[in-house]
Chains A and B, each alone.
Chain A
Amino acid sequence: MTGPIQRTTSASTADERAAVELEAEDRLAEEHEAGHVGKARPDWAPLPRRAGLKPTASPLLSLRTPISPRLKWLLGVLSFLVPLVVWSALAVSGWVDSTFLPSPGAVLKAGLDMAGTGELFTDLWATLQRVLYGFALAIAVSVPLGIAMGSYTAGQAFFEPLIGLLRYLPATAFVPLLMIWLGVDEPSKIAILFIGTVFYNTLMTADVVRAVPNSLIDVSYTLGARRGEVLRKIIVPHALPGMIDAVRVNAAAAWNLVVVAELLAAPSGLGKRISLSQRFLATDKIFALLVVIGLAGLTIDILLRITRERVGKWTA
């Protein structure tokens, strides 16, 4: 049979179907009359009605609606282009003294000059090295500690109160103390980075470890796994993508902290170069250094994001 699906009746002609429908309507009306249907609810005033959701004029205004890849790309470019245009306009118009706000061209030139003499790379490397040492040390301590806190209730009970307090002490507040203890050279920089990231990374690692479902742990025991095997083969792999997420967040903090530490005192580094430039009112250099700091941070973030996507393919 073709055509729209009919209700199951024995009626075949249109007239007969109409008769059946009428009969059904009559029956429903009778049931309503008799009070069997819809009479249990109190006789409230009818609820006011809201109009249904109206379609939006543009996809940009509707919540959580995907936009076209072209529009996405365009908006991404504009996000850099708009501030750049505003900046250029301000610099070129002469409203702002070029000592305070150098033009984009001047900044580019200052950057190229620093790259030409090689000092930019020396400073970048000095800063990167501090981040690598300090943050690597923080990861080496925080990951095992976080795993212990997330896996053992006793570990949680012992470490959580202290670390929960310590993370509220700003690392920068330790700078004077660390200079007294460790001097102005590398150890104090590395110590600031370590203090500034280790507690957060511990607590965030503990959180993702705690999020490993109990059912996965239980089922592993019924498959013959020992406790150590559950730690290595279940808890760590399940928590790994989340641990990398935590590292990504805290890498940004580490990158911020190293520059702050260098601003205060350091023999070299991007932060040191900024504070030197300040003395000579070389704002073009400061701007160029800020751009380099931003780009280097972004590169670190992209590398970690790629790692995260590789490792966490299995996550939904």
Chain B
Amino acid sequence: MTLELRGVAMDYTVRGKVTRALDGVDLEVLRGEFVCVVGASGSGKSTLLSLVAGLTKPTEGGIFLEGAPVTGPGPDRGLVFQAGALYPWRSVERNVSFGLELLGLDAAERARRVDWYLEETGLAAVRKSLPKQLSGGQKQRVAIARALACEPEVLLLDEPFGALDVQTKEDMQVLIRQIWADTGTTVLMVTHDVEEAVFLGGRVVVLASDPGRIAADVEVGLPAGRDLAVKREPEFLALRARIEDLVREQHRGHVSRVSAVE
């Protein structure tokens, strides 16, 4: 087993008012798994990743990586934000090599590794570019390559393709599946896009809102070597519809005009 969450709860205090963002979350992610977490906004998806990354501490419960409790952030859990969070003054290759520089690797060793990750993410041609010169998809690839270069036990993806256009998003989905297959890295990804979750994940975890808790844990069971065409297969569509219904059901608490009309 790689990652385990046991009875995790998280409270936020805003102006003296305590809000429970997550409650009683138990989750196991096995080594090499690709797990997607879906849920409407307010279901605590990003909080979950921030806890696993060690950037925030749970109010209750514990998080364990290879049996050891998570007490803070570290390079064994690489994180990719929706907005990329690239270092704007560093070129693409110097962004990717950041974690390796911290380890004190010599220049030749760094270059060897950076080259591989740039090749893997299709960034070799823009290696000298600054982040401001990149497209949205390229920026996310740099963020992914930078996290992967540290060889994390778990790659944490926080809605990494949420700001991309549909075509770029699909390219990135194919790419991340390829990277997952090539590196065998365990991936825990948060998204609000159910289609994306079903296409990418071996398992899809559905979060309920207010407070966020696990409502369902669905085995995807599609072939490992899937490509974009699978999105039109009846099994895929059925599974997607089932999970979308689950997400919608868990979202009912949030009264909106649309759901009131339905």
User: A residues engaging B (CB < 8 A)?
Assistant: 213, 215-216, 218-225, 229, 233-234, 237-238, 313-316
Contact = CB atoms under 8 A, between A and B. Distances in A.
Contact of A223 (B78, B132, B156): B78
B85 A218 contact: yes
Contacts of A229: 102
A222 B130 contact: no
Interface string B235-247: 0000000000000
Given A213-B85, A215-B85, A224-B150, 13 more contacts: A215-B83, A218-B85, A219-B79, A219-B81, A221-B72, A222-B54, A222-B55, A222-B79, A222-B156, A234-B87, A238-B88, A314-B130, A314-B131
Contacts of A238: 87-89
For the residues of B in contact with A, the DSSP-based class is loop
B55 A221 contact: yes
B74 A215 contact: no
Interface in B217-239: none
A218 B78 CA distance: 11
Nearest to A234: B87
Contacts of A224: 74-75, 99, 102-103, 150
A143 B54 CA distance: 31
Contacts of B45: none
Most B CB contacts (10 A, CB to CB) among A222, A224, A234, A313 go to A222
A316 B133 CA distance: 9
28 contacts: A213-B85, A215-B81, A215-B83, A215-B85, A216-B85, A216-B87, A221-B55, A221-B72, A222-B55, A222-B73, A222-B75, A222-B78, A222-B79, A223-B75, A223-B150, A224-B75, A224-B99, A224-B102, A225-B102, A237-B87, A238-B87, A238-B88, A313-B130, A314-B90, A314-B131, A315-B88, A315-B132, A316-B132
A223 B85 contact: no
B49 to A, nearest CB: 10
B74 A237 contact: no
A222 B83 contact: no
Most A CB contacts (10 A, CB to CB) among B75, B103, B156 go to B75
The 3 residue pairs across chains A and B that have the minimum distance between CB atoms: A224-B75, A221-B73, A223-B99
B208 to A, nearest CB: 26
Contact of A218 (B79, B130, B150): B79
Interface residues of B, number: 29
A229 B53 CA distance: 19
Contacts of B131: 314
Interface string B6-27: 0000000000000000000000
A206 B83 CA distance: 25
Contacts of A234: 87
B98 A223 contact: yes
A154 to B, nearest CB: 19
B147 interface: yes
B70 to A, nearest CB: 12
Interface in B88-123: 88-90, 98-99, 102-103
Interface string B55-87: 100000000000000001111011101010101
Contacts of A314: 88-90, 130-132
A278 B62 CA distance: 78
B146 interface: yes
Nearest to A241: B89
Interface string B170-207: 00000000000000000000000000000000000000
A216 B90 CA distance: 12
Interface in B118-170: 130-132, 143, 146-147, 150, 156
A225 B74 CA distance: 8
A314 B99 CA distance: 20
Given A223-B150, A224-B103, A229-B102, A218 B89 contact: no
Most A CB contacts (10 A, CB to CB) among B88, B143, B146 go to B88
Contacts of A225: 98, 102
B74 to A, nearest CB: 6
A219 B89 contact: no
A221 B131 CA distance: 20
B64 to A, nearest CB: 17
A91 to B, nearest CB: 51
Contacts of A215: 81, 83, 85
Contacts of B87: 216, 234, 237-238
Nearest to A224: B75
A118 B54 CA distance: 67
A230 to B, nearest CB: 10
Nearest to B150: A223
Contacts of B102: 223-225, 229
A222 B49 CA distance: 12
A221 B54 CA distance: 9
A238 B86 CA distance: 11
